[in-house]
Amino acid sequence: MENDLNGKIILVTGSSRGIGKSAALMLAKAGARIIVHYSRNSKAADEVLQQLGEQALFAVKADLGNAEEIRAMVESIIHQTGRIDVLVNNAAVHANMRPLENSFETWFDEWNRIVTANLSGTACLSFLVSKAMLKTGGGRIINISSRGAFRGEPEAWAYGASKGGLNSLGQSMAKALAPENIFVFTIAPGLVSTDMSEDNLTGPQGDEIRNQSPFGRVARPEEVGKIVVFFAGEAPEFMTGCIVDINGASYLRT
Ligand code: NAP
C-alpha cells in the first residue's frame, strides 16, 4: 500500500480537522500530494500542512455555501498544479434544527445554509473538478455521506436530506463520467469522533449513541480515512457508483 498514490494530486475538502485531516495524512503516507481545504480555520489548516511535510502542496479557503468562492478556488488550484487527480468531498456542516420548535423563517434559513453547503456546494465543486479531470484524462471523486441519509435524522432534516442528495449525485455522476475515466465512490459513516459529533457524544445521550453499535463505540476518523485511501487508489474502477457503510453495525441496510 505504501506509495500506492505516488505523485497523485489530491484535494481533500474540510481537511483542517476531523475525518478530512485524518484522510489527508493517510493519503500523504500513501504517496499523494495534498491540497488542504478549509473554511475559516486557517491556523488548523496550516498545522495540517506542517504535519504533511513534503507531501503538502498548499492550503485553499472556500465557503462551500458560496459558488463564486468555489469557482475561484478551483481556478487557483488548476493554475498552480495543472490538475486534480482525486477530489475528496468531505467538508460539510451539521446542525440540529429543532424542527418542531422553530419558526418557519428560522427553520428555512437553516435549511438553506445546510443544503447549500453540503449539497449545492459539493455539486458545484464536483462539476468544476470533473471538467478539469476531463482535460487531464480522468480521476476519482470520493464523497463522504452519512448513515443519516438512510436512517432518517429527526433533529437534522436538512443534513439528512443533503446527504441523501449527495448519494444520488454520486450515482448520477458515476454513470455519466465512467466513460470519461472518472470514477465516483461514496462512503456513509455512522457517528465518528470529531468536533461535529462532540456535542452529541458528550451529552446525556452519549452512551445510548455508542451502544447503537455492538462495539459500544463510534468510529475513529482513521477508520474512515482507510476507506478513502482505498477508493483513491486500489479500489477497482468497477466499484464506481457504490455507497459503502462504515457504522459498526449500528444501522444495517439490506
Ligand atoms: P468537522 O470535524 O466538523 O470538520 C468539518 C470540516 O469542514 C472542517 O475542515 C471545516 O473547516 C470544513 N467546513 C465546515 N463548514 C464549511 C463550509 N461551509 N464550507 C467549507 N468547508 C467547511 O467534520 P467531520 O466530523 O470530520 O465530518 C467530515 C465529513 O464526514 C462530513 O461530510 C460529515 O457530514 C461526515 N460525517 C461525519 C460524521 C460524524 O459523526 N463526525 C458522521 C457521518 C458523516 P474549518 O476548520 O475551517 O471550519
Ligand 1 atom having least distance to the Cα of 191: 40
Q: Which of 12, 13, 17, 155 to mutate to test the pocket of ligand 1 (most atoms within 8 A of CB)?
A: 17
Q: Give the mean pLDDT of the chain.
A: 97
Residue range(s) defining the domain that contains residue 201: 9-246
Give the closest residue to 35 by CA, choosing from 88, 72, 75, 71: 88
Ligand 1 atom having least distance to the Cα of 64: 19
Kindly state whether residue 2 falls inside one of the protein's structural domains: no
pLDDT digits 0-9 by tens, 19-37: 999 999 999 999 999 999 9
Q: Reply yes or no on whether the pLDDT at 2 is more than 60.
A: no
pLDDT value for 1:
45
Q: Report residue 219's pLDDT band, with 50, 70 and 90 as the boundaries.
A: very high
Beta bridge partners, 58, equal 35
- Of residues 97 and 139, more confidence is placed in 139
Mean pLDDT of all residues in 219-239: 98
From 7-16, 162-171, 195-204, the region with the lowest mean pLDDT? 195-204
Kindly state whether residue 94 falls inside one of the protein's structural domains: yes
Dist. CA 82–CA 59, nearest whole Å: 16
Q: Which of 38, 111, 157, 159 is catalytic?
A: 159
Task: Sort strands 9-12 and 33-38 into parallel, antiparallel or unpaired.
Answer: parallel
Kindly state whether residue 1 falls inside one of the protein's structural domains: no
Structural domains in the chain (count): 1
- Confirm or reject: Cβ of 91 under 6 Å from ligand 1: yes
- Confirm or reject: Cβ of 194 under 6 Å from ligand 1: yes
- Among protein residues, the one with the nearest Cα to ligand 1's atom 44 is 146
pLDDT digits 0-9 by tens, 43-101: 999 999 999 999 999 999 999 999 999 999 999 999 999 999 999 999 999 998 888 89
Kindly state whether residue 251 falls inside one of the protein's structural domains: no
CATH number, domain with residue 39: 3.40.50.720
| 174, amino acid identity | A
Ligand 1 atom having least distance to the Cα of 159: 34
- Cα 168 to middle of ligand 1, angstroms: 20
| 16 close to 45: Cβ distance less than 8 angstroms | yes
Q: Reply yes or no on whether the pLDDT at 121 is more than 90.
A: yes
- Confirm or reject: Cβ of 92 under 6 Å from ligand 1: yes
Kindly state whether residue 87 falls inside one of the protein's structural domains: yes
pTM for the predicted model, two decimal places? 0.98
Kindly state whether residue 4 falls inside one of the protein's structural domains: no
Kindly state whether residue 176 falls inside one of the protein's structural domains: yes
pLDDT value for 4:
81
- Cα 88 to middle of ligand 1, angstroms: 12
Dist. CA 145–CA 138, nearest whole Å: 22
% of the chain exceeding 90 in pLDDT: 96
- Confirm or reject: Cβ of 114 under 6 Å from ligand 1: no
pLDDT value for 97:
85
Q: Is 202 helix (H, G, I), strand (E, B) or coil?
A: helix
pLDDT value for 31:
97
| 251 assigned to active site | no
9: Cβ–Cβ under 8 A, 6 or more apart, which residues?
32, 33, 35, 57, 81, 83, 84, 85, 86
Q: Reply yes or no on whether the pLDDT at 3 is more than 60.
A: no
Kindly state whether residue 3 falls inside one of the protein's structural domains: no
